[in-house]
Structure 1
Amino acid sequence: MRRAVLAVGVFVLVAGGAATLFAGSPTRLPAGTTVAGLDVGGLSVSAATVALERRSDALEHEPIEFVAGGRTFTLRASQLGVRPDWAAAVRQAAESTDGFAPVRGLRRVRARIFGAEVEPHVAVFPSVLRYTVGRIAAAVDRPAVDASLERRGLSFVTSPARAGVRLDRSLASATIVNALASLERDGPVRLPVARAEPRVVVDDLADAATAAQTAVSGPVTLTVGPTRFRLPRWRIAQLLDLPNGGATGVSVAGPSAQRWLASLARSVDRDPRDATFRVVSGGIELVPSHPGRTLDLDAARKALQKAVFSSSGRAATVATSTTRAARTTEVARAMGIEEVVGSYTTTYGGTPGRLHNVQLVAELIDGALVAPGARFSFNQTTGERNAAKGFEEAPVIINGELESGIGGGVCQVSTTVFNAAFEAGLSIEKRTNHALYISHYPIGRDATVNYPDLDLVFRNDTDHWLLLRTFVSPGSLTVNLYGTSPDRRVETETAPLEVDGKVPWKRIDDDTMFKGQKVVEQWGSPPRSTSVTRRVYNPDGSLLYNTTWRSYYVGEPTVVRLGTKPRPKPEPSKPAKPDVKAAATPTTKEPALPPATSTTARP
């Protein structure tokens, strides 16, 4: 036992001594050391680094050819920023064979026998590398082509698939960097290219081809409600969506099918129509409602598809959904709109703008419905009367004076509505007379409006709905209120139109007229007032309303234009020269100035 231990000890001492003999100098790289394939054994760390950098610098601008997909691409290390870290690689080689003497010796013996290869870390411009590889891929890649089913008339032909090629971008990037970082330039470098297999081959489309041929084997009948649509074979062929994008089935889909189904829906769909009321000679009648009808496009497509791909039952029925009208015939009949409750007609004239405004605002309130107990507001029904709605300029009363403004003529309609409600015996809650008296309106029964402050409001105090209709004819406007007459009796008492003062006047100085000259530009009217009392009686004779509307009209001034221009002074007369003839002629007098004139003008 002791001899064995002694033998081992002697061997260790001998091996350690031998390893120490091969340790060599720690400042030099051992034999067998290579960096990027270049032998740097026996060189110092600094010398090896310099040698590697010089060799790399000499090759930095040397081109390398890369081959992929039968095409050649030339690249340089400088172009992609390829730069190996030679100093770090040499330090790694030195550290791998370093240590205290016996260990270093053993490591260097191993390097001498087996070699010590170190590959440097390589820096590169990432974005430039990606762009370069992408450019190569764009030139090399050839996508696989799937087998397809194509229509030719009423027949279908299968086109075979084709394999493609694809650049392996990840491996290609590594190959390019390694080749440009290498210290050798050995012929073209092949980049990795993989085969791209198609997803669909001819055999995968056998069922689709059979289904497509079945689809065009005969016409299809589609029944939608009471209507039948016959699709001929050529139309069915247009509606088929053949396999694409990796799909292997055929269906009724795609843009052509969507357009056809949309046109079908347009011919089938019908909006619901509310019950309405139509004015007839002597009264009004109910126009019944109609339900709406809507085609379910998805259900229609599925039904059509089922019939198309059937070899026997080539017919389909598509159900439609019914949309109920908002106001049905039953609801409209219960509204009680059966006869004229109140009516009034006014006459009008004026400028084209005024005539246009009367017609326009009459259209805005025409057809207004007022529920029992609800209020009719002229302003809320028409909204603001402005140019955006088509209203034009016409004479209008502003601050007690007649001027031109947007919406002139609207009060013709509000006055007519007021009188229709007046005659119907309805509760009138807001009414304002005009600032000026207007002779073509009934005395004390005019009604002006101005959005949003001055409004005309009446309340439907009957048990049934009211329908307001307007009828415009050249020179006259009629407003009718339809409902169920409450059989009220209306009595009216109108006070005389009284003058409450003198006619105001307004002076306008005119420097184009001589002093003393006067022109009456407009004749005015005095302020006046009146009142109208309405008594409304129930069918049993009891008094329902006893209302008095008082109207006050301001005076319209007489406008007088007075001259302010000074008259010219007369030139002095010259003494006559005595002669025989002049003595026999009577002396001529100086001409008199023309008298001040007074003219008048009326609108």
Structure 2
Amino acid sequence: MRTDTTIYRARVRQSPRRIALRRTVFLTAVVVLLLVLVGLAFAGSSSTLPAGTTVSGVDVGGMTRNEAARTLSQRGAAVAHAPVRFTAGGYAFSLTASQLGVEPNWRQAVAIAASEGDGFGPLRGFKRLRARFFGNDVAPPVASYHAAVRYKLGQVADKIDRPGVDAKLVRRGLAVRVVEGQSGRKLDRPAASAAVVAALASLERGAAIELPMAEVGPTVTAADLTDAQQKATVALSAPLRLAYGDTRWRVPRWRIAPLLDLPQGGSTDLSIGGHGAEQYLEKLSATVSRKPQDAHFQVAASGKIVIRPSEPGLQLDLAATAKAIAAAAFSVDQRTANLVVRVAQPARTTEKAQSMGIQDVVSSYTTTYGGTPGRLHNVQLVAELIDGTLVAPGATFSFNGTTGERTAAKGFQEAPVIINGELQNGLGGGICQVSTTVFNAAFDAGLPITARTNHALYISHYPLGRDATVNYPDLDLRFVNDSDHWLLLRTFVGSGSLTVNLYGTALHRHVESETEPLVETGAVPVKEVDDPTLDKGKRVTDEIGAPPRQTSVHRLVYDANGKLLYDNTWRSYYVGEPTLVRVGTKAPAKKKKPAKKDQATVTTPAMGDAPVGGATSAAKTPTATTPASTTTPTRP
């Protein structure tokens, strides 16, 4: 019986592991219960923000969402126009939130703060418990006007940014040394932008805020210029020799020095170049070069065209010669450079001149001229400007395009010229003598004339209806070379005549022309000018004018077979020249009143007075009439 009882008791005894498990479950349940109770104790109301919650440093704990948003908005509005001081690189400037459109979103910040203290009862309690003991500061989302921020920071960067200074080579006489580079600085714009917006979004306005800067290193360091310095030392170590054929030039070290083009602009290479080398090579070129001579056309005594042959020239190849000098300068033992000279071909060879078809006179016209020394000078000057002009087949000759603007800098002088229908002194008077002669040469050649304008006034010494005026740049004389060969325009200026010849290949054209009589189209205009020196009512004619007139020229041009090529009519309208009359405006002198005399006083009558006691007659003053004077108007 004992044995059975002992076995039973052993079976009902519980194991230690099981007891420990039960204790753990119990304690856990107790802890959970306690935690739930604590969470419920601190859960508070979900309608208010947890204690210890701040937004941008403002305590909003215990407030409702609306109260917190209203409080924060009021604080933000109070500092929106308050400046924040920033510094960077030794410069200081102030900005406000309103300037850059910086606006914190307070309602969203409050919503974030509320979400961090919200949740199911006990859980909300623990969140709020954490906020109470550890605090919870929420930064609001911030909107800003990005363009304004970039613009302001760009202004700051313009003042404080300083690029790095590259190391460089400096030559002093025959010595070349390296100058160390220097670091620069620049505004760190992304970081500075974030700092500016954050500072302006803050509700505090305190000490100045330093904006972040970044260091900018030099592109070229002293180590990068080691090879260039060594090359410069070699170049200046001994003289050079230049060779061309049997000729030799010695180039001393002091002459080599300005030929060196030291590294710059981020380069580390040393070369022969720059202004000093260009000047030296140009002088060298003038020594060894010879300009090519174009074939040109000469007028023989017979009137025929003779071609003077072209001649090739010599031209120093500047680039190749500079390369040869560099190779010798940077060499320790091979210090002789051979000049590179090439044959320079003329622009117009003899063969090309022969193919242009300029052989004989196609047309010639002569006009006579005179006038003031200034006018004679201008005729000769503009004749020289157009002399030798070549007109290609199908090309157009332009008088203005050939001579350019007529200015005092080109040597033109003042002379009588027609301005606004009146004869005045002006720069370039006499030029139309040349343009008129050119027009008539093209007219007689049967060439198409595409631009021609008559003078405002009729000029008798020009061929009737065939005058041509020019004025840069609006009035031009133009004709077209419609032949298959080139035309050469030559001018020949005599003491009182001008001849314009067109040379080329004979056109075999027949030109017929008919000129209408010059007819008056109105009365002579009168220009009256007040003259205070003449008695009122008197008129003096200083110059007799001319009526407005017109004429026309009709030209027919036929080819060698009698085919009509051109049928043109040029009409010319000349304004009237006014008769100049001076009109007196001088008021007549006032008559003096006779002095009162005492009847008892006897006086001796003056000459012309009536006898005493007789009738008195007023003395008559004879009126002088000034005859009208006439002068002949001066013509351009």
Write the distance in 2 (CA, Å) between the matches of 1:468 and 1:135: 63
Evaluate the alpha carbon distance shift between residue 41 and residue 233 of structure 1 in structure 2; reply closer, same or farther with a 3 A threshold.
same
- The equivalent residue for 2:69 is 49
Q: What SS is found at the alignment partner of 1:238? A: helix
Alignment of 1:460-539 (within 5 A): none
Evaluate the alpha carbon distance shift between residue 216 and residue 273 of structure 1 in structure 2; reply closer, same or farther with a 3 A threshold.
same
Evaluate the alpha carbon distance shift between residue 319 and residue 59 of structure 1 in structure 2; reply closer, same or farther with a 3 A threshold.
same
The CA RMSD over aligned residues, in Å, is 6.3
Write the distance in 1 (CA, Å) between the matches of 2:65 and 2:56: 15
How far apart are 1:162 and its partner, in Å?
2.9
Q: 2:165 aligns with which of 138, 145, 148?
A: 145
1:299 aligns with 2:331: no
Q: 1:237 aligns with which of 257, 260, 265?
A: 257
- The equivalent residue for 1:309 is 330
Q: 1:213 aligns with which of 212, 221, 233?
A: 233
- The equivalent residue for 2:309 is 288
Q: 2:139 aligns with which of 91, 114, 119?
A: 119
Q: What SS is found at the alignment partner of 2:218? A: coil
Aligned residues of 1:345 and 1:476 also touching (Cα < 8 A): no
State which drifts further: 87-96 or 102-111: 102-111
Q: 1:160 aligns with which of 167, 173, 180?
A: 180
Q: What SS is found at the alignment partner of 1:299? A: helix
State which drifts further: 75-84 or 6-15: 6-15
How far apart are 1:77 and its partner, in Å?
4.9
Write the distance in 1 (CA, Å) between the matches of 2:371 and 2:149: 78
Q: What SS is found at the alignment partner of 1:149? A: strand
Alignment of 1:243-282 (within 5 A): 243-261=263-281, 271-276=291-296
Write the distance in 2 (CA, Å) between the matches of 1:30 and 1:410: 104
How far apart are 1:20 and its partner, in Å?
4.7
Evaluate the alpha carbon distance shift between residue 358 and residue 114 of structure 1 in structure 2; reply closer, same or farther with a 3 A threshold.
closer
Letter paired with 2:340 = A
How far apart are 1:102 and its partner, in Å?
5.1
Letter paired with 2:334 = G
State which drifts further: 291-300 or 380-389: 380-389
Write the distance in 2 (CA, Å) between the matches of 1:381 and 1:38: 85
1:96 aligns with 2:116: yes
Q: 2:213 aligns with which of 187, 193, 218?
A: 193
Write the distance in 2 (CA, Å) between the matches of 1:412 and 1:81: 74
How far apart are 1:149 and its partner, in Å?
1.6
State which drifts further: 248-257 or 53-62: 53-62
Alignment of 1:575-594 (within 5 A): none
Deviations 1:313-350 (A, max 9, x none): 23323434434345545677899999x9999999x977
How far apart are 1:90 and its partner, in Å?
0.9
Aligned residues of 2:382 and 2:434 also touching (Cα < 8 A): no
Evaluate the alpha carbon distance shift between residue 106 and residue 336 of structure 1 in structure 2; reply closer, same or farther with a 3 A threshold.
closer
- The equivalent residue for 1:176 is 196
Q: What SS is found at the alignment partner of 2:186? A: strand
Deviations 1:530-564 (A, max 9, x none): xxxxxxxxxxxxxxxxxxxxxxxxxxxxxxxxxxx
Letter paired with 2:61 = G
Task: Name the TM-score, length of structure 1 as normaliser.
Answer: 0.53
Letter paired with 1:309 = F
Evaluate the alpha carbon distance shift between residue 281 and residue 57 of structure 1 in structure 2; reply closer, same or farther with a 3 A threshold.
closer
Aligned residues of 1:361 and 1:413 also touching (Cα < 8 A): no
Q: 1:25 aligns with which of 45, 54, 78?
A: 45
Evaluate the alpha carbon distance shift between residue 406 and residue 48 of structure 1 in structure 2; reply closer, same or farther with a 3 A threshold.
closer
Aligned residues of 1:275 and 1:328 also touching (Cα < 8 A): yes
Write the distance in 1 (CA, Å) between the matches of 2:438 and 2:45: 121
Percent of residue pairs bearing the same amino acid type: 45
Write the distance in 1 (CA, Å) between the matches of 2:85 and 2:403: 79
How far apart are 1:28 and its partner, in Å?
0.6
Deviations 1:229-269 (A, max 9, x none): 65443343223222333332322233443454456556666
Evaluate the alpha carbon distance shift between residue 406 and residue 275 of structure 1 in structure 2; reply closer, same or farther with a 3 A threshold.
closer
1:324 aligns with 2:357: no
Aligned residues of 1:349 and 1:355 also touching (Cα < 8 A): no
Aligned residues of 2:386 and 2:402 also touching (Cα < 8 A): no
Evaluate the alpha carbon distance shift between residue 334 and residue 55 of structure 1 in structure 2; reply closer, same or farther with a 3 A threshold.
closer
Deviations 1:180-225 (A, max 9, x none): 4334556454432333333333333222222222223344344568
Aligned residues of 1:411 and 1:449 also touching (Cα < 8 A): no
Evaluate the alpha carbon distance shift between residue 225 and residue 449 of structure 1 in structure 2; reply closer, same or farther with a 3 A threshold.
farther
Deviations 1:68-117 (A, max 9, x none): 44666565556655443322211221133334445544543554465433
Write the distance in 1 (CA, Å) between the matches of 2:391 and 2:190: 78
Aligned residues of 1:387 and 1:406 also touching (Cα < 8 A): no
How far apart are 1:477 and its partner, in Å?
9.7
Write the distance in 1 (CA, Å) between the matches of 2:96 and 2:440: 90
Q: 1:37 aligns with which of 57, 71, 85?
A: 57
Aligned residues of 1:239 and 1:257 also touching (Cα < 8 A): yes
Q: What SS is found at the alignment partner of 2:196? A: helix
How far apart are 1:44 and its partner, in Å?
1.7
Write the distance in 1 (CA, Å) between the matches of 2:144 and 2:319: 56
- The equivalent residue for 1:497 is none
Task: Name the TM-score, length of structure 2 as normaliser.
Answer: 0.51
Write the distance in 2 (CA, Å) between the matches of 1:164 and 1:204: 18
For these two proteins, the number of residue pairs brought into alignment is 442
Evaluate the alpha carbon distance shift between residue 107 and residue 258 of structure 1 in structure 2; reply closer, same or farther with a 3 A threshold.
farther
Write the distance in 1 (CA, Å) between the matches of 2:218 and 2:404: 67
Aligned residues of 1:55 and 1:183 also touching (Cα < 8 A): yes
Aligned residues of 2:157 and 2:186 also touching (Cα < 8 A): yes
Q: What SS is found at the alignment partner of 2:332? A: coil
How far apart are 1:368 and its partner, in Å?
9.7
Letter paired with 2:272 = V
Evaluate the alpha carbon distance shift between residue 88 and residue 411 of structure 1 in structure 2; reply closer, same or farther with a 3 A threshold.
closer
Letter paired with 2:343 = T
Alignment of 1:322-361 (within 5 A): 322-325=343-346, 328-329=349-350
